[in-house]
Structure 1
Amino acid sequence: MEPDLFTAAAEDRQEKDPSSSPLAVRMRPRSLDEVVGQQHLLKPGSPLRRLVGEGDGGPAGPSSVILWGPPGIGKTTLAYVVSKATNKRFVELSAITAGVKEVRAVIESARRATGGYGKETVLFLDEIHRFSKAQQDSLLPAVENRWVTLIAATTENPYFSIISPLLSRSLLLTLESLTDDDLRALMRRALAAEHGLGGAVTLPEDAEAHLLRIAGGDARRALTALEAAAGAALAMQEKEVTLQTVEATVDRAAVKYDRDGDQHYDVASALIKSIRGSDVDAALHYLARMIEAGEDPRFIARRLMISASEDIGLADPTALPTAVAAAQAVAMIGFPEAALTLSHATIALALAPKSNAATLAISAAQEDVRNGLAGPVPAHLRDGHYKGAAKLGHAQGYVYPHDVPGGIAAQQYAPDAVADKRYYRPTRYGAEARYADVVDRVRDRLGRGGSDDATDA
């Protein structure tokens, strides 16, 4: 039996007996108007609207769409909506388990269905980034000849993970993480809808808040946890899904952490201060509390990047690149895997040698500027590229450092008002000890004398 017949049979069973399917499947929207979130893609006249035939002229645009975004935000849902809205067959494959053989079978089936029954096919290929170049190449004939409407989903940057010929033939849509308001609306719809829970239970605010934390921006996770908790409540003949029921069902205690209140800032502060104090275990504790409470991983990553410059600086020059790489990875993969990346970065920063010399340096320089210690730029450093600059004495007498042995030209760089200021006072912790030696030598070559105030380890 062909794959599309299995799909059709499953859809028939779902329509005849919706209760046989998981809540997340039952709540899958059948039109773009029912989609929660992604409003930037759903505006009138958008490519996605035109793809399903809305607007003048009917369906238009490419026959291949790439959906890029973190897990659980509606990539499969959008593919399903396109198939329903255009009355096309919906076939789903995962790049984890499918190979070229399975893809070619679906494409051949789609060609026969189009020719024999006039029924076009939407092929949803999940995690396309896991396909090799050769496997992705096998999709090109189907896309070019419009044998299928290919909708491919990826959690990785498509410019790195998808071959150029396929990318150039596709409409790339970037999906955004779902907000708490999006998930709240989805859960409330599921509670009330006849094809959902049909009003069988109610969900108080504290239980709803805990489900939102558990979900971590993932719609599937939110609905799965809601369904389990509702089932447990009904089994106990209760009409309300209490916080205690949710905790028992999902086996996760509610964390006392208000993302908009004091706990949010207290725990975030404790995380950074634990990193600053090099207590890696305490830092991991606070990180875990933030993760378990459903904190936005991007917020955590931003705090780590700040910590890398504020508290570590040049004592470990790899700290900031590590934190930046973590932030980029978090933005691409989302929870739950992002917890591993945040742990990696937190441990690295907590165990790194510490220096706030960079923080103190810019603070002191800014303070002087605010107090009026600026002064004119020395004439020999001014721009000399325009006509008449030489007559003004601009750029005259400037010594090009590359022409001087050692690459350091002994000339004044700072304005007179701050010519003797030493803003950067390096420590001798970690790699910054090398910079302390360098700055001594440089200041001596510049005729400003070495620094006597580097902090000793």
Structure 2
Amino acid sequence: MRPRTLDELAGQAQLRTPGSPLRQLIEGDQSMSLLLWGPPGTGKTTIASILSNQTGRRFVEISAVSAGVKEVRAAIEAARADLVRGGEETVLFVDEVHRFSKAQQDALLPGVENRWVTLVAATTENPFFSVISPLLSRSLLLRLESLSDDDVRAVIDAAVTDERGLAGAYEIDDDAVDHLVRLAGGDARRSLTYLEAAAGAATSRGSSRIDLETAETAVDRAAVRYDRQGDQHYDVTSAFIKSIRGSDADAAMHYLARMIEAGEDPRFIARRLVILASEDIGLADPTALTTAVAAAQAVQLIGMPEAGLNLAQAVIALSVAPKSNAVINALRAAQGDVRAGKVGPVPSHLRDAHYEGSKKIGHGKGYAYSHHAPFGIAEQQYAPDVVADAEYYQPTEFGAESSIKERWERIRRIIRGR
């Protein structure tokens, strides 16, 4: 079922639009190396195959898992020989290029620099961390996104009827398709694997119909009632956040598991955790935001299913952390005043005094340099007159914020001359 043309490629609309670099490369038959970065099953190998077939180039594939420097050099030398002998160009596809060592990646450079090969390197990890700079600078970086539910559904529908797939020998119920789509998690290859397994299970039952029960049996996963676009998505997400806010780690883990099993985008889960870390914990545990951001980065670098561990660690850490909403309250109060028009002029002693003539108009005059003051805190007015007495940040007495509360109250008194 691998697409034979760019138009058959599922998803990746940003790469298939007229005039896009990839379309120019394929239809213009240009020689240019590509670095494809995206989750599994999004079309990286397929793009390399299409590039080879539609431009008439020879296709050679090596895997970074098993190939060494010797194999890389041999492939490039063979490509150079073919180019010299008959003018035949080669597409060299390197899968999992992030697994190559620096020396192995260096071995690719002569072939790329001299255009003996059109290199197409695929990676599921951030290439700015895992690919050497000389190779990055000589390649066109294309970012592939996880397929949407509609994209995966289109792949399954095509495979049911296409002669290269099930060739119309089976009927599949809508709820069974929905189940396979959820489990695929944006991975077209995984959806086809599950479809094939479901067809085999139907055959073993003497049936040509794939229903939900058959699909569940084939992949050994119960269907989770979860519509990523509907009420369940919002209800489960709401319960998830409220469980963490309420410090119930067990309930939070339940809802996390439901979202993961239903194929929820892990980046969405990570984004919600980053928001919660500031909204519901703040300075009660200053490490909460660091933990949430680290989990979000891990999701990008590692991908599912392994990144589920990073999400679980973050969920538990945020659940058991002391809670404070002082940060969001401070922001809302400050924004409320600004929206109400309380935006007086910046005090003259705080204005920029670096440019010529600024001091002549009073900028910077009377500014007290904090580092010269006792405790590093100078008594002076920082806010505009209209909000000079505003007290937006009101620390709680929970967790680390209790000590912050005591210190901040002393600082505020010094600054305001109290």
Q: TM-score under structure 1 normalisation?
A: 0.85
CA distance in 2, matches of 1:110, 1:394: 68
Write the distance in 2 (CA, Å) between the matches of 1:394 and 1:170.
50
Paired residue for 1:310?
A: 279
Task: State the SS of the aligned residue for 1:82.
Answer: helix
Contact 2:61 2:92 in 1 (8 A): yes
Q: Equivalent residue for 1:442? A: 411
Q: CA deviation at 1:385?
A: 5.8
* Contact preservation (8 Å) 2:82, 2:89: yes
Matched residue, 2:268: 299
Aligned residue number for residue 36 of structure 1:
10
1:402 to 339, 349, 371: 371
1:231-270 aligned within 5 A:
231-270=200-239
- Note the C-alpha offset of 1:37: 1.4
Supply the AA of the counterpart residue of 2:119: L
- Shift in Å at residue 289 of structure 1? 0.3
Distance, in Å, in 2 between the alignment partners of 1:85 and 1:425 is: 64
Secondary structure of the corresponding residue to residue 83 of structure 1: helix
Match of 1:430 among 396, 399, 404: 399
Q: Report the counterpart of residue 72 of structure 2 in structure 1.
A: 103
Task: Summarize the alignment of residues 254-403 of structure 1 with structure 2, pairs less than 5 Å apart.
Answer: 254-383=223-352, 395-403=364-372
Tell me the distance in 2 between the aligned counterparts of 1:386 and 1:132: 51
Measure, in 1, the Cα distance between the counterparts of 2:111 and 2:151: 35
Alpha-carbon distance in structure 2 between the residues aligned to 1:193 and 1:167: 38
Unaligned runs of at least 5 residues, structure 2: none
Q: Which residue of 2 is the match for residue 11 of structure 1?
A: none
Structure-1 separation of matches of 2:416 and 2:85: 88
* 1:365 to 1:98, Cα distance in 2 relative to 1, 3 A: same
How far 1:137 moved relative to its partner?
Answer: 1.0
Equivalent pairs counted in the alignment come to 418
The worse-fitting range, judged by mean Cα deviation, of 313-322 and 415-424 is: 415-424
Report what 1:60 is aligned to: 30
- Residue identity in the other structure for 2:71: E
The answer as to whether partners of 2:93 and 2:119 remain within 8 angstroms in 1 is yes
- How far 1:396 sits from its partner (Å)? 3.4
Q: 1:45 aligns with which of 19, 24, 30?
A: 19
Q: Distance in 1 between matches of 2:340 and 2:81?
A: 79
Question: Contact 2:201–2:217 (CA<8 Å) still a contact in 1?
Answer: no
Match of 1:42, as an amino acid?
Answer: R
Task: For residue 117 of structure 1, report the CA deviation from its aligned partner.
Answer: 6.2
Alpha-carbon separation, structure 2, partners of 1:447 and 1:230:
75
The equivalent of 2:63 in structure 1 is 94
Q: Distance in 2 between matches of 1:88 and 1:237?
A: 45
Q: Among residues 114, 126, 132, which one is paired with 1:163 in the alignment?
A: 132
Task: Give 1:407's aligned amino acid.
Answer: G
Gap change, CA 1:118 and 1:235, over 3 Å in 2:
farther
- Inter-CA distance 370–165: structure 2 relative to 1 (3 Å threshold): closer
- The aligned residue for residue 197 of structure 2 is 228
Match for residue 455 of structure 1?
none
The structural deviation recorded for 1:372 is 4.8
Q: 1:131 aligns with which of 100, 106, 113?
A: 100
- The TM-score normalised by the length of structure 2 is 0.92
In the TM superposition, what whole-angstrom CA distance separates every residue of 1:377-420 from its partner, at most 9, and x where no partner exists? 44433455677766765543332323323322211223344333
| Per-residue deviation, residues 12-40 of structure 1 (Å, max 9, x unmatched) | xxxxxxxxxxxxxxx00112121111121
Q: Determine the structure 1 residue equivalent to 2:144.
A: 175
Structure 1 residue 150: Cα displacement = 1.7
Contact 1:69/1:332 (<8 A) preserved: no
Match 1:122 to one of 91, 103, 109: 91
Q: Give the SS at the match of 2:209.
A: coil
Q: 1:384 to 1:183 in 2, by over 3 A?
A: same
Q: Give me the whole-angstrom Cα distance separating, in 2, the residues matched to 1:133 and 1:331.
A: 22
Which residue number in structure 1 is paired with residue 183 of structure 2? 214
RMSD, aligned CA: 2.3
Which residue is 1:185 aligned to?
154
Indicate conservation of the 8 Å contact 1:203/1:240, yes or no: yes
Distance 1:372 1:32, change over 3 A: closer
Distance 1:86 1:262 in 2: 47
Alpha-carbon contact 1:276-1:354 (below 8 Å) kept:
yes
Change (3 A) 1:145 1:114: same
Q: What is the alpha-carbon distance in structure 2 between the residues aligned to residue 169 and residue 397 of structure 1?
A: 55
Q: 1:116 to 1:376 in 2, by over 3 A?
A: closer
Q: Does 1:200 align with 2:169?
A: yes
Return the offset for 1:215: 0.3
Contact map agreement 1:73 1:175 (CA 8 A) in 2 = yes
Q: Is the 8 A contact 2:37 2:125 kept in 1?
A: yes
Q: Percent identity?
A: 66
State the match for 1:6 in structure 2.
Answer: none
Bigger drift between 439-448 and 415-424 goes to 415-424
1:84 aligns with 2:53: yes
- 1:141 to 1:447, Cα distance in 2 relative to 1, 3 A: closer
Question: What residue identity is the alignment partner of 1:338?
Answer: A
Q: Which residue of 2 aligns with 1:418?
A: 387
Structure 1 residues without counterparts, runs of 5 or longer: 1-26, 450-457
Structure 1 376/225 Cα, relative in aligned 2: closer, same or farther at 3 Å?
same
1:34-71 Cα shifts (integer Å, max 9, x gaps): 1111121222333323333x24xxx2242x22111111
For the residue of structure 1 that corresponds to 2:62, the secondary structure is strand
Tell me the secondary structure at the aligned position of residue 259 of structure 1: coil
Q: Are the structure 2 counterparts of residues 241 and 410 from structure 1 closer, same or farther at C-alpha, using a change threshold of 3 Å?
A: same
